[in-house]
Amino acid sequence: MKKTLLALAVLAVSGAAMAQSSVTLYGVADAGLGRIKTGSTGTSPANDASNQTEFISGSRMNNGDSRIGVRGVEDVGGGLKVGFNFESGLDLDNGNATTTAFWARQANVWLGGNWGTFKMGRAFSPSYGGVAVWELTGASNYSVVANTFNYGGSGSRNNSQFSYKTPGGLGGFSAELGYITKADNAAKAKWDFNVIYANGPISAAFTANKQQQDKTGYTLGGKYDFGSFAVAASYNDARKVRRGFTIGGTAKFGAFSVTADVARDTKSQSGKKFTNVLLEGKYALSKRTFVYLAGLRLDGSTNYGVGVRHNF
């Protein structure tokens, strides 16, 4: 009897300890068929930018990059939690990593509580976090906003970033500030921040970022979701390299949705002004899986892709 009670006590303590610490394996598998103009930049691997119709994975015309990641969190008591996130991109063409650095998508550790979250390492830039709140395609690889203005010129991730994010529950408002030291960024210190409002049908954000000796880049955008229809618009300045606006909408018909999004340059360092257009159709097979068809007119080039994305 005593042995039984002891075993139950040990099991109870073990269960309580396990409840306070968890590690999750997750990922995305995304592949399809598409055509991407030769010499395209951004997320496209070189082998998927041949200007020929071919298998595509991790390219500009996939909805997202295939990836595998692990994240964990531990409750250390007193309202304080500690967590981490490691994430690697996969090319489903051949199973290779999409970058030379294996954990190039995420590699960070964080501390959090009712005072907010402090994070250190390679992580999403605050500028990306702000744009993702209102961007109609969920910040997909073929997003016309991202491909034209590159999240206010900041890019989607920062290396060696120290960041602080405010807690939720502030009337829909939140903010995040990131900083990279001069020694960690080719002798150019960088700051990057966002202010977000997300409450009910309204999602909006202002972002700004600046490196020493460079211009300030910023975005101001918002979305209103009517339920079966959503509209979004933004103004973007990619560090004076190019600036302009976007406007678009998404219509939902049950499991099917159609998105049209347009970006127009008002000024460009190259002297050429483009009107870029994205058309996307998606059909949800389940909560985790959907098929998609997308066409992107980008700076005079025509790109398209059709594929399947599964989240796990």
In a domain, 254, yes or no: yes
Q: How big is the CA angle at 227 (ends 276 and 143), to the nearest 5 degrees? A: 20
* Contact between 100 and 181 (Cβ < 8 Å): no
The per-residue pLDDT for range 230-289, each reduced to its tens digit, is: 999 999 999 989 999 999 999 999 999 999 999 999 999 999 999 999 999 999 999 999
pLDDT at position 251: 98
Q: Domain total for the chain?
A: 1
Check residue 10 and give its pLDDT.
Answer: 36
Of residues 182 and 2, which shows the higher confidence score?
182
pLDDT of residue 169: 81
β-strand 289-298 against 301-311: which pairing, if any? antiparallel
CA-wise closest residue to 158 among 174, 173, 176, 141: 176
Does 223 map to a domain? yes
Q: Looking at the domain assignment, is residue 200 inside a domain?
A: yes
Rounded Cα distance, 134 and 249, in Å: 11
pLDDT in tens, 85-120: 999 999 999 999 988 899 999 999 999 999 999 999
The predicted pLDDT at position 281 comes to: 98
Alpha-helical (H) ranges within the chain are 2-19, 126-134, 144-149
State the pLDDT at residue 48: 85
Task: Please give the Cα distance from 54 to 98 (Å, whole number).
Answer: 17
251: number of Cβ within 10 Å: 13
Residues with Cβ within 8 Å of residue 66, at least 6 apart in sequence: 27, 28, 29, 30, 31, 57, 58, 89, 90, 91, 92
Domain assignment present for 243: yes
Tell me whether residue 86 is in a domain.
no
The answer to the question of residue 31 being in a domain is no
Dump pLDDT digits (tens) for 166-186.
998 889 999 999 999 999 999
Predicted local confidence at residue 43, as pLDDT: 54
Residue 144 lies in a domain: yes
For residue 154, what is the domain's CATH number? 2.40.160.10
| Beta pairing, strands 275-284 & 80-90 | unpaired
Position 46 scores a pLDDT of: 66
> pLDDT grade, residue 8 (50/70/90)?
very low
Query: Residue 217 and residue 211: Cα distance in Å, rounded?
Result: 9
Q: 215: which 2 tokens?
A: 């211009």
Q: Do 55 and 33 touch, CB atoms closer than 8 A?
A: yes
DSSP H or E segment with residue 117: strand 116-124
pLDDT at 261: 98
Is the per-residue pLDDT at 192 higher than 50? yes
pTM over 0.75: yes
- What confidence score (pLDDT) does residue 159 get? 98
Residue 299 lies in a domain: yes
Report the C-alpha gap between 111 and 78 in whole angstroms.
12
Burial of 74 (0-12, 13-18, 19+ CB in 10 A): middle
What's 231-254 look like in SS3? EEEEEEECCCCEEEEEEEEEEEEC
Neighbours of 265 (CB within 10 A): 19
Q: What is residue 240's predicted lDDT score, i.e. its pLDDT?
A: 85
pLDDT score recorded for residue 95: 93
| Residue range(s) defining the domain that contains residue 208 | 109-311
Task: Check residue 9 and give its pLDDT.
Answer: 40
Q: Are 223 and 203 in contact (CB under 8 A)?
A: yes
Q: What percent of the chain has pLDDT over 70?
A: 91
Average predicted confidence (pLDDT) for the chain: 92
pLDDT digits (tens, 9 = 90+) for 47-72: 788 899 999 999 999 999 999 999 99
Mean pLDDT of 292-310: 97
